[in-house]
Amino acid sequence: MRKRLLVLLFLPLLGAAAEPPPYDMAATPEATAARQHALNRCRATATGAMRQQIDCSLAAHRAYAVKTRLRDMGLFRTYADALRKAADEADAGRITPYEAQNRIVRAGVTFRTAVENAYQDWRKRAPHGGPLYDRAAFPAALKTRNEAVARCGGWAAATIPAHVACIRKAERAFVGAIKLADMYWYHGYDSVLTFTAADAGDGRMKPANLGARHQQIWTDFLHTLEYQFKR
């Protein structure tokens, strides 16, 4: 009887530990690149009708939500409804394009804030312990990463996808070597990298600028790891 009561007592704790995240952070780098390519195509084919532009961009954002397995799609539907309403009112002349854009921006902030707040709440409840990464392994892992990235060669428009794949392979090996316990930080960095590469591949950034941009966001990532380790 006592054993049964103990099992019942710990069932809620087991359920909390198994709670899935609000979205799949590991899927965000690939989904980010796909969304940015889609949004760039929307910009390239934009017409004078705001609703057409909104429908195109919402298709890209919805695909992102699906690829990252957003659990509460109601948040996205509310966001999409707000954008469609603003676009329809602007096209009908009931509000100015400026007012429509303001509404669209506010709706976007509300949507992204709700999703991120849900994820951070989940992270606080998720079990964790021990150091963020293995500091002893860090120097050798960083040296290996730097050498591997150098072997990937320089940036060129024709080789951006292959170059990014080479760099990401080296950097995934780095976080594996240092036994990074919370991959949230790496996936966030990696998403910025894939976003930037997508823009460059679509001609919205000069490939020559990618090297400096990559070094900047990589340095920011390392600084973030150092700061989080000391917390």
Residues 153-192 have pLDDT tens digits of 888 877 899 999 999 999 999 999 999 999 999 999 999 9
Residue with tokens 């950034």: 205
Predicted pLDDT of residue 157 = 73
Q: Please check whether residues 70 and 94 belong to one and the same domain.
A: yes
Q: Please check whether residues 143 and 220 belong to one and the same domain.
A: yes
Predicted pLDDT of residue 120 = 96
* Mean pLDDT, all residues of the chain: 91
Instruction: Judge whether 60 lies within some domain.
Output: yes
Domain boundary among 64, 92, 125: 125
Phi, psi of 203 (to 5 degrees): 85, 15
Q: Please check whether residues 121 and 206 belong to one and the same domain.
A: no
Q: What is the pLDDT of residues 71-112, one digit of tens each?
A: 999 999 999 999 999 999 999 999 999 999 999 999 999 999
Q: Which two tokens stand for residue 74?
A: 């109601």
Instruction: Judge whether 13 lies within some domain.
Output: no
Residue 16 near residue 63, CB atoms below 8 Å:
no
Instruction: Judge whether 49 lies within some domain.
Output: yes
Q: DSSP code of 25? A: G
Predicted pLDDT of residue 215 = 95
How many structural domains comprise the chain? 2
Q: Please check whether residues 117 and 145 belong to one and the same domain.
A: no
Question: What dihedral angle (degrees, nearest 10) is formed by the CA atoms of 39, 44, 45, 48?
Answer: 100
Q: DSSP code of 48? A: S
Domain boundary among 104, 125, 146: 125
Instruction: Judge whether 153 lies within some domain.
Output: yes
Domain boundary among 102, 125, 148: 125
Looking at residue 29, its amino acid is P
- Cα 125 to Cα 141: distance, rounded to the nearest angstrom: 30
- Residues of the domain holding 187: 138-230
Q: Which two tokens stand for residue 93?
A: 């002349």
Q: Please check whether residues 93 and 39 belong to one and the same domain.
A: yes
Percentage of the chain lying above the pLDDT 70 cut: 92
